[in-house]
Amino acid sequence: MRLEHFMAAHALRTPAKPAVVVGAQRLSYGELLSSSRSLAAGLRRAGVVQGDRIVVYLPNCVEFVQIMYAAFSVGATVIPVNTRNTPRELVYFAQDSQARVLVFHAESAEAIEALSAEFAGIRRVAVGGEVAGAESFETLRTHSDERLPELALSPDDAMILYTSGTTGKPKGAILTHANFVIGNAFVNVVEWGVTADDVFLVTTPLAHRTGLARLMNSMCLGAKLVVMERFDAQAAVEIIEREQVSAAGMVPTVARMLMPVLEKEAARCASLRHIIVTGEAFPVELKRRMIGYLPQARLHSFFAMTEVGSVTVLDHEEQFTHPASVGRVTPGVQVKLVDDKGQQVSVEDVGEILVRSGEAGRFTTMKGYFGRPDATAATIVDGWVHTGDMGRFDVDGYLYIVDRKKDMVLSGGFNIYTKEVEQVLVEHADVADAAVVGVPDEIFGEAVTAFVERHPGRTLSVQALQEHAKSRIASYKKPKHVFFVDALPRNGVGKVLKAELREMALARLARPVA
């Protein structure tokens, strides 16, 4: 059960049907199948074999989809990397995944060339123009009647998605073809009622988990996928009307940005029937406003994680009868809450959320962390994935998230781990120590806020520190707010008191600007 087989079957049945639309770029299912197979043959000629890994560092474009399905066709594993990540972060992903190929856009050529030594041994493929030292995407895609070899049943790794931890470097979660097929082709269809007749809209980067999910929804169903090159509220409404979009995935930030346009032009979105949102951190008042403007649509929300897929689902009516809940357990998934001794807790008691769905990698839970057997063994115990999230069940089986993973900020739909930001901040020569927390933000849900101790006599500015962070990590991870302090508050054993820092941040942000 492989993803490329779903797409190929739809191409044979409905070759002329639109498959992917990105701006002026359009591919039918027949064209997508032909081009991805030609690319697959090119990858084979380049020496790519089953089990190899390919990093895809591309903006939203049809080439993103083509190279992904070409990789699947030769049994390679795709590592999608958001182009908002810096080249420095890209180097880490490529090296950690032991990638064989890096596919990037010509617009990124200069930044990648500056780090060429770091990409030694990795074959480079450029999209959108000729780049010295890289093979052209068009050359790789040269038509070929070469028959692709039959793939072994194992390994069936589809993607490696990097997810940061609270300590150390990001870890690559290995997701199998079955993970995506079960979740996006079967579970979503049953829960939401989407079909091949739907038109899906991607409002985020394709490399983001929300974009990938809509891509898999459409390709597994044989539906039409419309991808925004970059999000703009007015453009989104125009695209929904023009392409008759019926199913749109979005994060809270996108929904907030849409509100002013929907207030005036909601009638242009009459085709919308399904609005797919994350269940966590999506304010109920925002949901009410959206449904007020789009009464014909149904809201589908869920609680999910990279490592475990969809855990719970909240139906449309339940959005308002149980607004504080993330829903009830997805059919076929097991969830239990345990205390710090590993014992299952009672109803209404709080415990760590553990998730299981058969053998790891076979259904909805990840196969493990790439190259990290110890981390995998610590996370997956007897098939149960320890999420690190805390929750409670009520008597009717609704799950409530009590606390997210330690020290994580959810901003604009992106998970930002404070440890990663802190490590970058303390690399600055003027910084003695730093601690990062999240604070409420009207647009992005939460904003990264840093408290910084400067070395004695240093006069580091907020802007300089933000630019330092931006040069090393994705821009959305840099602190929006920076407060300089003489000393970070600590407990008796020297641990930073982040709850106290959050209170300090809220108090300072509440003060009127002089």
The reported pLDDT for the residue numbered 168 is 59
User: Sorting pLDDT into bands at 50, 70 and 90, what band is 145?
Assistant: confident
CATH of the domain at 443: 3.30.300.30
- Which has more confidence, 493 or 445? 445
Question: Do the domain assignments include residue 141?
Answer: no
Q: Which of 343, 378, 397 is the last residue of a domain?
A: 397
Q: Give per-residue burial for 373-411: e unless 16+ CB within 10 Å, then b.
A: eeebeebbeeebbbbbbbbbbeeeebbbbeebbebbbbb
Q: 253 or 473: whose pLDDT is higher?
A: 473
280, pLDDT greater than 60? no
Range of the domain at 506: 408-510
On the 0-12 / 13-18 / 19+ scale of CB atoms within 10 A, 443 is: exposed
**Is pLDDT larger for residue 340 or for residue 112?**
112
Round to whole Å and give the CA distance between 512 and 439. 17
Same domain, 348 and 414: no
Q: Which of 344, 376, 397 is the last residue of a domain?
A: 397
Q: Is 446 in the same domain as 503?
A: yes
In a domain, 336, yes or no: yes
Q: Is residue 424 in some structural domain? A: yes
Q: What's 350's domain CATH number?
A: 2.30.38.10
Q: What is the pLDDT of residues 462-492, one digit of tens each?
A: 999 999 999 989 999 999 999 999 999 876 5
pLDDT at 155 over 90: no
Among 62-71, 89-98, 273-282, 449-458, the range scoring the smallest mean pLDDT is 273-282
Distance CA 59, CA 38 (A): 21
Residue 321: burial class (beta carbons within 10 Å; 0-12, 13-18, 19+): exposed
pTM: 0.85
Same domain for 496 and 420, yes or no, is: yes
Average pLDDT, the chain: 92
According to the model, what pLDDT value does residue 369 have?
97
Please check whether residue 93 lies inside any domain of the structure: no
Q: Is 105 inside any structural domain?
A: no
Indicate whether 496 and 473 sit together in one domain.
yes
Q: Which two tokens stand for residue 32?
A: 């997508």
Neighbour count for residue 315 (Cβ, 10 Å)? 16
Residues 343 and 418 in one domain: no
Give the rounded percent of residues in the chain with a pLDDT score beyond 70: 96
Q: Are residues 450 and 429 in the same domain?
A: yes
443 and 368 within one domain: no
Segment 431-450 shows an average pLDDT of 91
The SS3 call for residue 43 is: helix
For the cut 80, the answer to whether the pLDDT of residue 493 exceeds it is no
Among 354, 375, 397, the domain boundary falls at 397
Task: Please state the domain count of the chain.
Answer: 2
- Residue 447 in any domain: the answer is yes
> Following CA atoms 79, 80, 85, 90 in sequence, which dihedral angle do they give, to the nearest 10 degrees?
30
Contact residues for 16 (Cβ-Cβ < 8 A; gap 6+): 28, 29, 30
Whether the pLDDT of residue 91 is over 50: the answer is yes
Helix (H) or strand (E) holding 161: strand 157-163
Q: Are residues 388 and 423 in the same domain?
A: no
**Distant-in-sequence, close-in-space partners of 429: CB < 8 Å, separation ≥ 6:** 455
CA atoms of 133 and 156, how far apart (whole Å): 31
| pLDDT for the residue numbered 406 | 61
**506 domain residue, yes or no:** yes
CA dihedral 244, 247, 249, 252 (to 10 degrees): 90
**Co-location of 438 and 359 in the same domain:** no
Look at 40-44, 49-53, 160-164 and tell me which has the smallest mean pLDDT.
Answer: 160-164
Q: What is the pLDDT of residue 494?
A: 62
Q: Confidence class of residue 166 from pLDDT cuts 50, 70 and 90?
A: very low
Q: What is the pLDDT of residues 116-144, one digit of tens each?
A: 899 999 999 999 999 999 999 999 998 77
Residues 412 and 506 in one domain: yes
Tens of pLDDT, residues 305-318: 999 999 999 999 99
Predicted pLDDT of residue 492: 58
For residues 460 and 366, state if they share a domain. no
Same domain, 379 and 452: no
Is 312 contained in some domain? Answer: no
**Secondary structure string (H, E, C) spanning 329-377:** ECCCCEEEEECCCCCECCCCCCEEEEEECCCCCCCCCCCEECCCHHHHH
Instruction: Give the position of tokens 């890209």.
Output: 90
Cβ burial, residue 247 (10 Å; 0-12/13-18/19+): buried
